[in-house]
Amino acid sequence: MPKPPPLLPIPFLCRTKKRKTIITILFFPFFVTGCLPYLYHLGKEQSAIILGREKIELVLTKPNLDPKTKQKLNLIREVREFAIDKLALNEKGGFEYFTELNREEIGWNVSASESLNLKSYTWWFPIAGTVPYKGFFNKELAIELEKELKEKGYDTRVRPIGGYSTLGWFSDPVLSPQLTWPDHRLVGLVIHEMAHATAYLPGDTTLNESYASFVEEIGTEMFYVAKEGENSPHLIKFKKEKLKRESILKLLKQYADQLKSVYESDKEDSSKLELKKSIILDFKNKIISENLIPEEKSKEFLVREWNNEDFLGALRYHSGEVSFFSLYEKSNRDLSKFHKEVQNLFSLPEESRKEFLEPTH
Protein backbone atom coordinates (compact mmCIF):
# COMPACT_ATOMS: atom_id res chain seq x y z
CA MET A 1 0.00 0.00 0.00
CA PRO A 2 1.41 3.44 -0.88
CA LYS A 3 1.77 5.52 2.26
CA PRO A 4 -0.66 8.45 2.62
CA PRO A 5 0.56 11.97 1.98
CA PRO A 6 2.09 13.79 4.94
CA LEU A 7 -0.12 16.02 7.05
CA LEU A 8 1.90 19.07 6.11
CA PRO A 9 2.45 19.88 2.42
CA ILE A 10 5.67 18.98 0.71
CA PRO A 11 7.83 21.48 -1.22
CA PHE A 12 7.90 21.60 -4.98
CA LEU A 13 11.03 20.89 -7.00
CA CYS A 14 13.35 23.55 -8.32
CA ARG A 15 12.29 24.78 -11.73
CA THR A 16 13.94 25.78 -15.00
CA LYS A 17 12.56 28.41 -17.31
CA LYS A 18 10.10 27.32 -19.99
CA ARG A 19 11.58 27.32 -23.47
CA LYS A 20 10.15 26.44 -26.86
CA THR A 21 11.44 22.87 -27.03
CA ILE A 22 12.22 20.00 -24.71
CA ILE A 23 15.79 20.00 -26.02
CA THR A 24 16.29 23.55 -24.75
CA ILE A 25 14.72 22.64 -21.42
CA LEU A 26 17.40 19.99 -21.01
CA PHE A 27 20.38 22.12 -21.90
CA PHE A 28 19.59 25.76 -21.12
CA PRO A 29 20.14 25.39 -17.33
CA PHE A 30 23.63 23.97 -17.89
CA PHE A 31 24.83 27.37 -19.04
CA VAL A 32 23.13 29.05 -16.10
CA THR A 33 24.67 27.07 -13.24
CA GLY A 34 27.08 24.47 -14.61
CA CYS A 35 25.59 21.74 -12.38
CA LEU A 36 25.44 19.34 -15.31
CA PRO A 37 24.64 15.95 -13.69
CA TYR A 38 21.95 17.30 -11.38
CA LEU A 39 20.24 19.50 -13.93
CA TYR A 40 20.41 16.77 -16.55
CA HIS A 41 18.65 14.48 -14.08
CA LEU A 42 15.91 17.07 -13.49
CA GLY A 43 15.56 17.98 -17.15
CA LYS A 44 15.37 14.36 -18.28
CA GLU A 45 12.70 13.38 -15.74
CA GLN A 46 10.67 16.59 -16.09
CA SER A 47 10.73 16.15 -19.87
CA ALA A 48 9.44 12.59 -19.46
CA ILE A 49 6.61 13.88 -17.29
CA ILE A 50 5.65 16.56 -19.82
CA LEU A 51 5.97 14.24 -22.83
CA GLY A 52 3.95 11.55 -21.04
CA ARG A 53 0.99 13.83 -20.33
CA GLU A 54 -2.51 13.02 -21.49
CA LYS A 55 -5.44 15.41 -21.34
CA ILE A 56 -7.61 14.40 -18.40
CA GLU A 57 -10.73 14.67 -20.55
CA LEU A 58 -9.25 12.08 -22.93
CA VAL A 59 -8.14 9.76 -20.11
CA LEU A 60 -11.71 9.81 -18.82
CA THR A 61 -12.98 8.40 -22.13
CA LYS A 62 -10.88 5.23 -21.86
CA PRO A 63 -13.21 2.21 -21.61
CA ASN A 64 -11.07 0.28 -19.08
CA LEU A 65 -10.45 3.16 -16.70
CA ASP A 66 -10.98 1.97 -13.13
CA PRO A 67 -13.75 3.72 -11.14
CA LYS A 68 -11.40 5.11 -8.47
CA THR A 69 -9.13 6.79 -11.02
CA LYS A 70 -12.17 8.16 -12.85
CA GLN A 71 -13.59 9.60 -9.63
CA LYS A 72 -10.28 11.24 -8.66
CA LEU A 73 -9.72 12.76 -12.11
CA ASN A 74 -13.26 14.14 -12.22
CA LEU A 75 -12.68 15.65 -8.78
CA ILE A 76 -9.46 17.31 -9.96
CA ARG A 77 -11.24 18.82 -12.98
CA GLU A 78 -13.97 20.14 -10.70
CA VAL A 79 -11.49 21.66 -8.23
CA ARG A 80 -9.47 23.28 -11.01
CA GLU A 81 -12.58 24.99 -12.40
CA PHE A 82 -13.59 26.11 -8.91
CA ALA A 83 -10.08 27.43 -8.21
CA ILE A 84 -10.14 29.56 -11.35
CA ASP A 85 -13.73 30.79 -11.09
CA LYS A 86 -14.16 31.21 -7.33
CA LEU A 87 -10.62 31.47 -5.88
CA ALA A 88 -9.18 33.70 -8.64
CA LEU A 89 -6.22 31.36 -9.14
CA ASN A 90 -4.10 31.36 -12.27
CA GLU A 91 -5.55 29.10 -14.96
CA LYS A 92 -1.96 28.29 -15.96
CA GLY A 93 -1.54 26.51 -12.63
CA GLY A 94 -1.91 23.10 -14.25
CA PHE A 95 -4.06 20.02 -13.55
CA GLU A 96 -5.41 19.77 -17.10
CA TYR A 97 -3.28 16.69 -17.79
CA PHE A 98 -2.46 13.33 -16.23
CA THR A 99 0.88 11.50 -16.25
CA GLU A 100 1.32 7.89 -15.14
CA LEU A 101 4.58 7.31 -13.25
CA ASN A 102 6.31 3.95 -12.74
CA ARG A 103 7.01 4.67 -9.06
CA GLU A 104 4.99 5.18 -5.88
CA GLU A 105 6.51 8.58 -5.06
CA ILE A 106 6.89 11.59 -7.35
CA GLY A 107 10.36 12.33 -6.03
CA TRP A 108 12.30 13.28 -2.91
CA ASN A 109 13.45 16.57 -1.40
CA VAL A 110 16.64 16.95 0.61
CA SER A 111 16.74 19.75 3.15
CA ALA A 112 19.16 20.66 5.91
CA SER A 113 19.85 23.17 8.65
CA GLU A 114 22.69 24.14 10.91
CA SER A 115 23.04 21.91 13.96
CA LEU A 116 23.06 24.72 16.54
CA ASN A 117 21.07 27.35 14.70
CA LEU A 118 17.55 27.41 13.26
CA LYS A 119 18.95 28.40 9.89
CA SER A 120 18.30 26.46 6.69
CA TYR A 121 20.95 25.36 4.24
CA THR A 122 19.92 26.81 0.88
CA TRP A 123 20.41 26.33 -2.86
CA TRP A 124 19.85 28.77 -5.71
CA PHE A 125 18.04 27.88 -8.94
CA PRO A 126 16.84 29.86 -11.96
CA ILE A 127 13.25 31.15 -11.59
CA ALA A 128 12.76 29.69 -8.08
CA GLY A 129 15.61 31.70 -6.57
CA THR A 130 17.04 30.65 -3.20
CA VAL A 131 15.23 27.64 -1.71
CA PRO A 132 15.86 25.46 1.37
CA TYR A 133 15.60 22.13 -0.40
CA LYS A 134 16.92 20.25 -3.41
CA GLY A 135 14.64 17.89 -5.28
CA PHE A 136 15.37 14.60 -6.97
CA PHE A 137 13.34 12.09 -8.97
CA ASN A 138 15.77 9.38 -7.85
CA LYS A 139 15.84 8.45 -4.15
CA GLU A 140 19.42 7.17 -4.23
CA LEU A 141 20.64 10.59 -5.41
CA ALA A 142 18.71 12.25 -2.59
CA ILE A 143 20.21 9.92 0.02
CA GLU A 144 23.69 10.51 -1.40
CA LEU A 145 23.32 14.29 -0.97
CA GLU A 146 21.88 13.85 2.52
CA LYS A 147 24.92 11.78 3.49
CA GLU A 148 27.28 14.51 2.25
CA LEU A 149 25.44 17.15 4.27
CA LYS A 150 25.42 14.96 7.40
CA GLU A 151 29.16 14.48 7.11
CA LYS A 152 29.50 18.27 7.13
CA GLY A 153 27.58 18.43 10.41
CA TYR A 154 24.17 19.55 9.21
CA ASP A 155 20.80 18.36 10.50
CA THR A 156 19.12 16.74 7.49
CA ARG A 157 15.88 15.27 6.25
CA VAL A 158 14.78 13.47 3.07
CA ARG A 159 11.06 13.80 2.40
CA PRO A 160 8.87 12.37 -0.37
CA ILE A 161 7.45 15.03 -2.66
CA GLY A 162 3.68 15.26 -2.61
CA GLY A 163 3.39 17.91 -5.30
CA TYR A 164 5.25 20.70 -7.05
CA SER A 165 4.64 23.61 -9.35
CA THR A 166 6.53 24.94 -12.35
CA LEU A 167 4.89 28.31 -11.58
CA GLY A 168 2.87 28.39 -14.77
CA TRP A 169 5.81 27.73 -17.12
CA PHE A 170 4.26 24.35 -17.96
CA SER A 171 0.75 23.05 -17.45
CA ASP A 172 1.71 20.73 -14.63
CA PRO A 173 -0.12 17.39 -14.77
CA VAL A 174 -1.60 15.48 -11.90
CA LEU A 175 0.74 12.53 -11.28
CA SER A 176 -0.41 8.98 -10.60
CA PRO A 177 0.95 8.78 -6.99
CA GLN A 178 -1.29 11.70 -6.08
CA LEU A 179 -4.42 9.70 -6.91
CA THR A 180 -3.84 7.64 -3.74
CA TRP A 181 -4.51 10.73 -1.61
CA PRO A 182 -7.80 11.14 0.31
CA ASP A 183 -10.20 13.41 -1.57
CA HIS A 184 -9.96 16.43 0.73
CA ARG A 185 -6.16 16.41 0.60
CA LEU A 186 -6.22 16.09 -3.17
CA VAL A 187 -8.48 19.14 -3.28
CA GLY A 188 -5.97 20.99 -1.10
CA LEU A 189 -3.07 19.92 -3.30
CA VAL A 190 -4.65 21.35 -6.46
CA ILE A 191 -5.42 24.66 -4.76
CA HIS A 192 -1.99 24.88 -3.10
CA GLU A 193 -0.03 24.33 -6.31
CA MET A 194 -2.27 26.65 -8.35
CA ALA A 195 -1.65 29.32 -5.73
CA HIS A 196 2.08 29.06 -6.46
CA ALA A 197 1.37 29.88 -10.09
CA THR A 198 -0.66 32.92 -8.96
CA ALA A 199 1.76 34.65 -6.60
CA TYR A 200 5.38 33.66 -6.07
CA LEU A 201 8.40 35.64 -4.86
CA PRO A 202 11.70 33.99 -5.85
CA GLY A 203 13.88 33.38 -2.82
CA ASP A 204 11.25 33.67 -0.06
CA THR A 205 10.11 30.10 0.53
CA THR A 206 8.35 30.75 3.84
CA LEU A 207 6.22 33.54 2.39
CA ASN A 208 5.41 31.51 -0.74
CA GLU A 209 4.52 28.30 1.07
CA SER A 210 2.61 29.98 3.89
CA TYR A 211 0.56 31.98 1.38
CA ALA A 212 -0.22 28.84 -0.65
CA SER A 213 -1.14 26.95 2.53
CA PHE A 214 -3.47 29.77 3.61
CA VAL A 215 -5.22 29.76 0.21
CA GLU A 216 -5.34 25.95 0.34
CA GLU A 217 -7.15 25.98 3.68
CA ILE A 218 -9.77 28.62 2.91
CA GLY A 219 -10.18 27.29 -0.64
CA THR A 220 -10.76 23.70 0.48
CA GLU A 221 -13.43 24.84 2.92
CA MET A 222 -15.12 27.03 0.28
CA PHE A 223 -15.06 24.16 -2.23
CA TYR A 224 -16.76 21.65 0.06
CA VAL A 225 -19.31 24.13 1.39
CA ALA A 226 -20.29 24.91 -2.21
CA LYS A 227 -20.26 21.24 -3.26
CA GLU A 228 -21.72 19.43 -0.24
CA GLY A 229 -22.89 22.06 2.26
CA GLU A 230 -21.80 22.92 5.79
CA ASN A 231 -22.24 19.31 6.94
CA SER A 232 -19.98 17.89 4.25
CA PRO A 233 -18.27 14.73 5.56
CA HIS A 234 -15.12 15.72 3.69
CA LEU A 235 -15.24 19.16 5.30
CA ILE A 236 -15.68 17.64 8.76
CA LYS A 237 -12.61 15.46 8.21
CA PHE A 238 -10.67 18.44 6.86
CA LYS A 239 -11.56 20.61 9.88
CA LYS A 240 -10.64 17.85 12.31
CA GLU A 241 -7.20 17.52 10.72
CA LYS A 242 -6.80 21.29 10.68
CA LEU A 243 -7.47 21.56 14.43
CA LYS A 244 -4.92 18.86 15.18
CA ARG A 245 -2.38 20.50 12.85
CA GLU A 246 -2.88 23.86 14.54
CA SER A 247 -2.23 22.27 17.94
CA ILE A 248 0.94 20.62 16.64
CA LEU A 249 2.13 23.86 15.04
CA LYS A 250 1.55 25.77 18.25
CA LEU A 251 3.82 23.32 20.08
CA LEU A 252 6.36 23.38 17.25
CA LYS A 253 6.64 27.16 17.51
CA GLN A 254 6.86 27.02 21.30
CA TYR A 255 9.68 24.48 21.32
CA ALA A 256 11.45 26.11 18.37
CA ASP A 257 11.62 29.28 20.48
CA GLN A 258 13.20 27.26 23.29
CA LEU A 259 15.79 25.86 20.89
CA LYS A 260 16.51 29.32 19.53
CA SER A 261 17.13 30.65 23.06
CA VAL A 262 19.61 27.85 23.73
CA TYR A 263 21.43 28.37 20.43
CA GLU A 264 21.75 32.11 21.04
CA SER A 265 23.08 31.65 24.58
CA ASP A 266 26.77 31.79 25.54
CA LYS A 267 26.83 28.13 26.63
CA GLU A 268 29.41 25.69 25.31
CA ASP A 269 28.41 23.76 22.19
CA SER A 270 28.43 20.48 24.12
CA SER A 271 25.92 21.92 26.60
CA LYS A 272 23.78 23.27 23.77
CA LEU A 273 23.65 19.83 22.16
CA GLU A 274 22.52 18.23 25.42
CA LEU A 275 19.83 20.87 25.93
CA LYS A 276 18.75 20.41 22.31
CA LYS A 277 18.18 16.68 22.94
CA SER A 278 16.25 17.43 26.11
CA ILE A 279 13.99 20.03 24.46
CA ILE A 280 13.22 17.75 21.53
CA LEU A 281 12.41 14.87 23.88
CA ASP A 282 10.09 17.15 25.87
CA PHE A 283 8.40 18.16 22.62
CA LYS A 284 7.81 14.53 21.65
CA ASN A 285 6.40 13.66 25.05
CA LYS A 286 4.09 16.67 24.88
CA ILE A 287 2.78 15.61 21.48
CA ILE A 288 2.06 12.13 22.83
CA SER A 289 0.52 13.33 26.11
CA GLU A 290 -1.88 15.62 24.22
CA ASN A 291 -2.94 12.74 21.94
CA LEU A 292 -1.86 14.58 18.80
CA ILE A 293 -0.72 11.38 17.11
CA PRO A 294 -2.47 7.98 17.07
CA GLU A 295 -1.64 5.86 20.11
CA GLU A 296 -0.38 3.00 17.95
CA LYS A 297 2.24 5.33 16.43
CA SER A 298 3.44 6.94 19.65
CA LYS A 299 6.27 4.48 20.30
CA GLU A 300 7.59 4.90 16.75
CA PHE A 301 7.30 8.70 17.07
CA LEU A 302 9.21 8.71 20.35
CA VAL A 303 12.23 6.85 18.98
CA ARG A 304 12.32 8.63 15.63
CA GLU A 305 15.22 11.06 15.36
CA TRP A 306 14.11 14.70 15.32
CA ASN A 307 16.31 17.68 14.53
CA ASN A 308 16.24 21.36 13.61
CA GLU A 309 15.13 20.65 10.05
CA ASP A 310 11.93 19.01 11.28
CA PHE A 311 10.96 22.24 13.04
CA LEU A 312 11.97 24.46 10.14
CA GLY A 313 10.37 22.19 7.56
CA ALA A 314 6.97 22.42 9.24
CA LEU A 315 7.07 26.11 10.10
CA ARG A 316 8.04 27.28 6.63
CA TYR A 317 4.58 26.12 5.48
CA HIS A 318 2.55 27.67 8.26
CA SER A 319 3.81 31.09 9.27
CA GLY A 320 1.90 34.37 9.37
CA GLU A 321 -1.58 32.83 9.50
CA VAL A 322 -2.94 35.79 11.49
CA SER A 323 -1.31 38.29 9.14
CA PHE A 324 -2.66 36.54 6.04
CA PHE A 325 -6.14 36.43 7.54
CA SER A 326 -5.95 40.18 8.31
CA LEU A 327 -4.95 40.79 4.69
CA TYR A 328 -7.88 38.61 3.57
CA GLU A 329 -10.25 40.66 5.72
CA LYS A 330 -8.72 43.89 4.42
CA SER A 331 -9.54 42.61 0.91
CA ASN A 332 -13.18 42.10 1.98
CA ARG A 333 -12.62 38.38 1.47
CA ASP A 334 -12.26 39.02 -2.24
CA LEU A 335 -9.54 36.59 -3.28
CA SER A 336 -8.61 38.42 -6.48
CA LYS A 337 -7.83 41.48 -4.31
CA PHE A 338 -6.13 39.29 -1.70
CA HIS A 339 -3.70 37.82 -4.24
CA LYS A 340 -2.77 41.36 -5.32
CA GLU A 341 -2.23 42.36 -1.69
CA VAL A 342 0.12 39.40 -1.28
CA GLN A 343 1.98 40.45 -4.43
CA ASN A 344 2.37 43.91 -2.91
CA LEU A 345 4.33 42.28 -0.08
CA PHE A 346 6.96 41.30 -2.64
CA SER A 347 8.21 44.89 -2.88
CA LEU A 348 8.82 45.10 0.87
CA PRO A 349 12.33 44.70 2.33
CA GLU A 350 13.18 41.21 3.59
CA GLU A 351 12.94 42.28 7.24
CA SER A 352 9.44 43.68 6.70
CA ARG A 353 8.29 40.43 5.10
CA LYS A 354 9.77 38.52 8.01
CA GLU A 355 7.89 40.77 10.44
CA PHE A 356 4.68 40.03 8.50
CA LEU A 357 5.27 36.29 8.93
CA GLU A 358 6.55 36.51 12.51
CA PRO A 359 4.89 39.55 14.10
CA THR A 360 6.42 40.58 17.41
CA HIS A 361 3.21 42.09 18.73
Q: Helix/strand/coil (H, E, C) string of the chain?
A: CCCCCCCCCCCCCCCCCCCCCHHHHHHHHHHHHCCHHHHHHHHHHHHHHHHCCEEHHHHCCCCCCCHHHHHHHHHHHHHHHHHHHCCCCCHHHCCCEEECCCCCCCCEEEEEECCCCCCECCEEECCCEEECCEEECCHHHHHHHHHHHHHCCCEEEEEECCCCCCCCCCCCCEEHHHHHCCHHHHHHHHHHHHHHCCCCCCCCHHHHHHHHHHHHHHHHHHHHHHHHCCCCHHHHHHHHHHHHHHHHHHHHHHHHHHHHHHHCCCCCHHHHHHHHHHHHHHHHHHHHHCCCCCHHHHHHHHHCCCCHHHHHHHHCCCCCHHHHHHHHHHCCCCHHHHHHHHHHHCCCCHHHHHHHHCCCC
Q: Are 178 and 162 in contact (CB under 8 A)?
A: yes
Query: Which is nearest to 10 in space by CA: 153, 161, 165, 177?
Result: 161
pTM of the model: 0.86
Strand partners, 109: 135, 159
pLDDT string in tens for the chain (361-residue length): 333 333 333 333 332 223 333 322 333 333 334 467 888 888 889 899 999 999 999 999 999 999 999 999 999 999 999 999 999 999 999 999 999 999 999 999 999 999 999 999 999 887 778 899 999 999 999 999 999 999 999 999 999 999 888 887 888 999 999 999 999 999 999 999 999 999 999 999 999 999 999 999 999 999 999 999 999 999 999 999 999 999 999 999 999 999 999 999 999 999 999 999 999 999 999 999 999 988 888 889 999 999 999 999 989 999 999 999 999 999 999 999 999 999 999 999 999 999 999 876 5
Torsions phi, psi for 117 (to 5 deg): -165, 135
Query: Which is nearest to 179 in space by CA: 96, 74, 57?
Result: 74
Give the whole-angstrom CA distance, residue 46 versus residue 26: 9
